Amino acid sequence: MTVHRVYLGIGSNLGQRKANCRRAIEQLRAHGVEILKESSLYETQPWGLKGQPDFINMAVEASTTLTPEELIVVIKEIETSMGREETVRWGPRLIDIDILLYDDRVINTTVETASQGTLQLCIPHPFMDRRDFVLRPLVEVSPDVVHPPSGKTARELLKDLLSQEGDL
């Protein structure tokens, strides 16, 4: 079996936000995802849709024998089992688990499932290079991990983003 290196973003802005993130990690472990490193928990303002509670966000580095298609199904099953309900895009959520990176793969496809319907699988995560709440924890976990399409490290992506926002 091939072991793959994956980076996941985890966030919550409803209920016990920190506990939700911790529970998601426990659920990932229960599904055979070995958590190698965890970032700190970051409290951040919502992105994309204002007027909702602040988020707790974090990133993890993990290893798994799951394929990308199997991993997205496991993630959606965990989110559903934890009580996530689909609302508006970028809206409030009890738990959100995103595949940020999977080895050095670039994937854009759909996955058909019996339990979850059609799932969109985009790796790297399509907005990760525009979200400081993703990049800050990712840099903490693995500053030199490379974003395949750009060839830039997580650290370089964060520096670019902050300079665009005028923070540097």
The whole-number average pLDDT for the span 8-16 is 96
pLDDT exceeds cutoff 80 at 89: no
Give the C-alpha distances (Å, rounded to integers) separating 19 from 4, 59, 91, 94, 111: 27, 15, 19, 10, 29
Model pLDDT for residues 114-140, shown as the tens digit of each residue: 887 898 999 999 989 998 999 999 999
CB 22 within 8 A of CB 78: no
Please name which of 17, 126, 120, 109 lies closest in space to residue 75, comparing C-alpha atoms: 120
In the predicted model, what is the mean pLDDT of residues 160-166?
A: 85
Report d(CA 160, CA 168) in Å as an integer: 9
- The set of residues, in sequence order, having a beta carbon less than 8 Å from that of 70 and lying 6+ positions away, is none
As given in the structure block, the two tokens for residue 91 are 């809206």
Average pLDDT, integer, range 89-114: 89
Mean pLDDT lowest for which of 67-81, 105-119, 145-159? 105-119
Assign 3-state DSSP to the chain and report helix, strand, coil percentages, each to 5. Answer: 30, 30, 40
Average pLDDT of span 140-149:
97
Percent of the chain with pLDDT over 90: 77
Look at residue 1 in the predicted model and tell me its pLDDT. 85
Please say if the pLDDT value at position 94 is more than 70: yes
Q: Is residue 166 over pLDDT 70? A: no
In angstroms, the first-to-last Cα distance of the chain is 44
Q: Tell me the pLDDT tens digit for each residue of 75-88.
A: 999 999 998 766 65
Handedness of CA 47, 51, 53, 54 (dihedral sign): positive
- Residues annotated as part of the active site: 84, 93, 96, 98
Q: What is the pLDDT of residue 116?
A: 78
Q: Give the contacts of 4 (CB within 8 A, at least 6 positions apart).
A: 63, 64, 65, 66, 102, 103
Domains defined for the chain, CATH in brackets: 4-164 (3.30.70.560)
For position 88, what pLDDT does the model report?
Answer: 55
Q: What is the pLDDT of residue 90?
A: 58
